[in-house]
Amino acid sequence: MRPFEAGLRVVTLLTTDAVSSTPQQLRLGDHRSDELRRERDGLVAAEVAAFRGEVVKSTGDGTFAAFPSPSEALSCAVGIQRAMARRNLAASERIELRIGLATGEVIVEEGDIFGRAAIESTRITAYASPGQVLCCEMTQALAAPRLQYPVEPVGEVRLKGFEAPMPLYRVEWAEVFEPVVPLPAPLVREGEPFVGRPSVLATATSLWAAATTTQRPHLLVLGGEPGVGKTSLLSRLGAVVHRSGATVLYGRCTDDDIDSLRPIRQALGQFIAARSDSLLDELGPGRRELVRLAPELVGVVEPPRETGADHRAATATLLDAVAQWLGTASRVRPILFVIDDAEWLDAQTAKLLRRLAEEPGLGPLLFALAHRDRDPVGTTDELPALVASLRSSATTVETMRLTGLTPDDVAVLVGRVQPELKPMAADLHRNSSSR
Ligand SMILES: Nc1ncnc2c1ncn2[C@@H]1O[C@H](COP(=O)(O)OP(=O)(O)O)[C@@H](O)[C@H]1O
Ligand SMILES: [Mg+2]
């Protein structure tokens, strides 16, 4: 049934309102504001259609929509807020919406809707806080038996223009953000003490925060001598971002240069092993090409396209597919990709990172590369070249060097492992440093 054929009918009305859109519009200028408005209205319209509602009209700052089903209208409101939250995760300009809903008998005339419920939904929206979904008692009562989200009473509220206070309800829509891909084994340091490094950790976490608010990949390059604690530090960063729901991937380079794209292959394996419901979607439009890196996908996706004997074309197609995978997956949830032992970085992985720097519309993506910087053994020269070329692109590159732990850190570490040795550690340091 179409909710607004002319005449009297009972509908649930949903009104969205973009938060402080006027100041944003003045700051961004008309052209960019138009883009944001279209993006916002497009997102809302797609959710409205998905829940069998109809957009009645645009109000400039928002959308006014009608639904035959109160529970679908509420689910639509949740869908809009969640889609917007995901979108904001990776966007430079946030869009925040208030949403209000009311149910009642209205009259439909010439494609517009009139009646008390229409006014209620608009007033409830104006009362809502940014990001909230509020509804009237009628909507709540009718939707309750089928609703899958918790609904909490917010008390009696006096809305503008209404004599009597009205009980309102808030729909809890926040997603419980659980990581899907387990923390890769080489980064799991459970039970192992970690000491010191406050400034390096602070720089790394703020780079992560920066990566989650733009659509450009970020790069952290961590140098230091073997055993100084590079992998330990990235494990620490990995554990923190993993707890926040991000995907953490791990790949290690080796001196075996035949095995190019080794870190990518390893990370893709971790991703596929997680077997999440949305796996196929998150592998992106080039998923069939990924079979070349992940034989476990045989039978799950179509076989890759034949490229004949043209090796260059095959490699280019494969890099496209990997870039599409990381782009799609990072839009669903942020990705920290640790590339360890990057002194052995292979040319194809370096090429992929350069290519991602040019890719539009990525989600939050931070590559953290650890490398030995004073290695007597030969290394590839891919990493310095990569850093130099990314510096001249729009990619944010942060290079850091780890040096030994401070005496205090070592004392703390010794104390954690063997508490009775703690006084000795301080003595040892004093004695050994006074010539
Ligand atoms: N900050 C730290 N706190 C406690 N232990 C550390 C720390 N950094 C390194 N270690 C220990 O030192 C060893 C070598 O560190 P690792 O991170 O593997 O070095 P790298 O990756 O630089 O070669 C690890 O076994 C780890 O337990
Ligand atoms: Mg290491």
Does ligand 1 have an atom closer than 6 angstroms to the CB of 196? yes
Same domain? 189 vs 279: yes
Same domain? 167 vs 127: yes
Same domain? 112 vs 213: no
User: Which protein residue's CA is at the shortest distance from atom 15 of ligand 1?
Assistant: 229
Angle, vertex CA 248, rays to CA 246 and CA 252, nearest 5: 165
Q: Domain tally for the chain?
A: 2
What CATH number corresponds to the domain at position 57? 3.30.70.1230
- The two beta strands, 63-67 and 133-136, are unpaired
| Long-range contacts from 31-37, C-beta under 8 angstroms, 24+ separation | 32/93, 36/93, 36/95
**For residues 174 and 85, what is the distance between their CA atoms, to the nearest angstrom?**
9
- The two beta strands, 54-58 and 63-67, are antiparallel
Q: What is the pLDDT along the chain (435 residues), one digit of tens a residue?
A: 455 788 999 999 999 999 876 787 888 899 999 999 999 999 999 999 999 999 999 988 899 999 999 999 999 999 999 888 777 765 678 899 999 999 999 999 988 999 999 999 999 999 999 889 999 999 999 999 988 788 989 999 999 899 999 999 999 887 656 678 999 999 998 878 888 888 888 889 889 988 877 778 899 999 999 898 999 999 999 998 898 788 999 999 988 766 689 999 999 999 999 877 677 778 888 899 999 999 998 888 888 887 776 788 888 889 999 999 998 888 878 899 999 999 999 999 999 999 998 887 788 899 999 999 876 555 778 888 899 998 888 788 999 999 888 787 787 777 776 767 666 666 666 665 544
Same domain? 63 vs 19: yes
In a domain, 243, yes or no: yes
Same domain? 33 vs 107: yes
Collapsing DSSP to helix, strand or coil, 116 comes out as helix
**For residues 101 and 274, what is the distance between their CA atoms, to the nearest angstrom?**
38
Domain end (from 120, 137, 171):
171
**For residues 139 and 69, what is the distance between their CA atoms, to the nearest angstrom?**
9
In a domain, 61, yes or no: yes
Domain of 97?
7-171
**For residues 92 and 360, what is the distance between their CA atoms, to the nearest angstrom?**
13
Distance 231 CA to ligand 2 centre (A): 4
> What is the structure's pLDDT at 231?
95
> What is the structure's pLDDT at 15?
98
Q: Which residue has the tokens 């592998």?
A: 283
**For residues 192 and 196, what is the distance between their CA atoms, to the nearest angstrom?**
14
In a domain, 299, yes or no: yes
Distance 404 CA to ligand 1 centre (A): 10
Nearest ligand to the C-alpha atom of residue 374: 1
Same domain? 193 vs 154: no
Collapsing DSSP to helix, strand or coil, 209 comes out as helix
Domain end (from 171, 197, 219):
171
Q: Other CB atoms closer than 10 Å to residue 239's CB: what's the count?
A: 16
Distance 229 CA to ligand 1 centre (A): 4
How distant is the alpha carbon of residue 109 from its chain centre? 43
* The model's pTM: 0.64
Rg of the chain in Å (alpha carbons)? 27
Q: Which of 197, 230, 232, 409 to mutate to test the pocket of ligand 1 (most atoms within 8 A of CB)?
A: 232
Same domain? 207 vs 329: yes
In a domain, 250, yes or no: yes
Distance 142 CA to ligand 2 centre (A): 58
Name every residue whose Cβ is closer than 8 Å to that of residue 116 and which is 6 or more positions away in sequence.
104, 106
Distance 158 CA to ligand 2 centre (A): 62
Same domain? 63 vs 88: yes
Nearest ligand to the C-alpha atom of residue 344: 2
- CB–CB of 68/18 below 8 Å? no
